[in-house]
Amino acid sequence: METTSMHCGSNEDNKPYIRHPAVAGPYGFYPSKPDVLLNDIRSYIDGAEKYGESKPFGLVSPHAGYVYSGPVAGWAYRQIVDFSYKTVIVISPSHFVRLQKVSVMPAGAYQTPLGNVEIDSELASRLVELGGEGMELSLNGHLNSGMGSVEHALEVQLPFLQVVLGDFKLVPIIIGNTGWDLCRQLGRALAEVVDDDILIVASSDLSHFHPYKQAMTIDQNVINAIQAGDGATIAEGCRAGALEACGGTPIASLLAAAKENEKTQIEILRHANSGDVPGGSKDQVVGYLAAAVY
């Protein structure tokens, strides 16, 4: 269990922490060569369609290897083409570290093969202050240990954002499978800070390792709750195992913030799974969703 709580966001040399890519490269989730990565992301976005002319309040995007989930993620990020945001708040689940609190990286940068994305330290601090005791400025869950058990769900969103938005600041948030109360707490804090220049991204895959037809049915239960804006059902359902979305708490937090800000238009943009890619097995699939909140 990772217990490092570094409120200054610095390493032992008192320098701001730079979180280097953990899952880029030939055996990772996405290419490490900038030109290949850029071309891949552009192809995913070009293959998607834009829903409408409104500027999104938030997105739901998958976080698997790009060869599997990239085409679906392209549908999410296609919706923010031609828009600008000064800061993006990316909410990720924690796959490897047990977190009791919402972990907000306070300073430094996340690095990808396309460059560094600077942390919006002022917004991160304000968010934690508004969120209360369930949130903390911390590197818990964000550290790249180089041991293979490092969080990928936040990192894989960043190259898409870099390609579409160019220059922006980041508030990286990692939350555990903690249920509705903490999601609502985070959502209310988000609602206090978000304006038209700030985007929220919830990183989540859906069901894991079911046969194709069964997975589509299981996923639809989560999709129905998202369309209803029902964050409580998603958070509690995922915690109890009645619903399957590894980023159930990020999605629930986004929906909580949307409800507070009366952002009630939710569009399901694309639903697919790993069995839909060329050569993908339909025996055990992972579900992917792109959605937007307006």
Q: Are 290 and 62 in contact (CB under 8 A)?
A: yes
- 246/268 Cα distance (integer angstroms): 18
DSSP state of 56: P
Q: What region, left, alpha or beta, does residue 256 occupy, with left being phi > 0 and alpha being psi -120 to 50 degrees?
A: alpha
**Exposure class string for 218-255: b at 16+ Cβ within 10 A, else e:** bbebbbebbeebbbbbbbbbbbeeebbbbbbbbbbbbb
| Residue 26 neighbours by CB distance under 10 Å | 7
Residue 290 main-chain phi, psi, to 5 deg = -120, 130
> Which residue type sits at 45?
I
Instruction: Please give the Cα distance from 102 to 104 (Å, whole number).
Output: 6
pLDDT for position 146? 58
Contact yes or no for 105/9 (Cβ under 8 A) = yes
Buried b (16+ CB within 10 A) or exposed e, 37-63: bbebbeebbeebeebeeeebbbbbbbb
Which domains can be identified in the chain, with CATH numbers?
23-293 (3.40.830.10)
Phi and psi at 3, nearest 5°, equal -120, 5
Q: What is the pTM of this model?
A: 0.94
129 contact partners, CB below 8 Å, separation of at least 6: none
pLDDT digits (tens, 9 = 90+) for 209-263: 999 999 999 999 999 999 999 999 999 999 999 999 999 999 999 999 999 999 9
Give the per-residue pLDDT at 98: 83
pLDDT, tens digit, for every residue of 94-145? 988 889 899 999 999 999 999 999 999 999 999 999 999 999 999 999 998 7
Q: Are 285 and 215 in contact, with CB atoms under 8 Å apart?
A: yes
* Per-residue pLDDT at 130: 97
d(CA 254, CA 292): 10
User: Distance (Å, rounded) from C-alpha 256 to C-alpha 22?
Assistant: 30
Output phi, psi for 242, to 5 deg.
-80, -25
CA atoms of 94 and 82, how far apart (whole Å): 31
φ, ψ (nearest 5 deg) of residue 89: -100, 110
Q: How far is Cα 104 from Cα 192, in angstroms, rounded to an integer?
A: 16
Do the Cβ atoms of 76 and 199 come closer than 8 Å?
Answer: no
**pLDDT computed for residue 95 by the predictor:** 86
Q: Locate 110 and state its tokens.
A: 């996340």
Tell me which residue of 239, 245, 94 sits closest to 181, measured CA to CA. Answer: 239
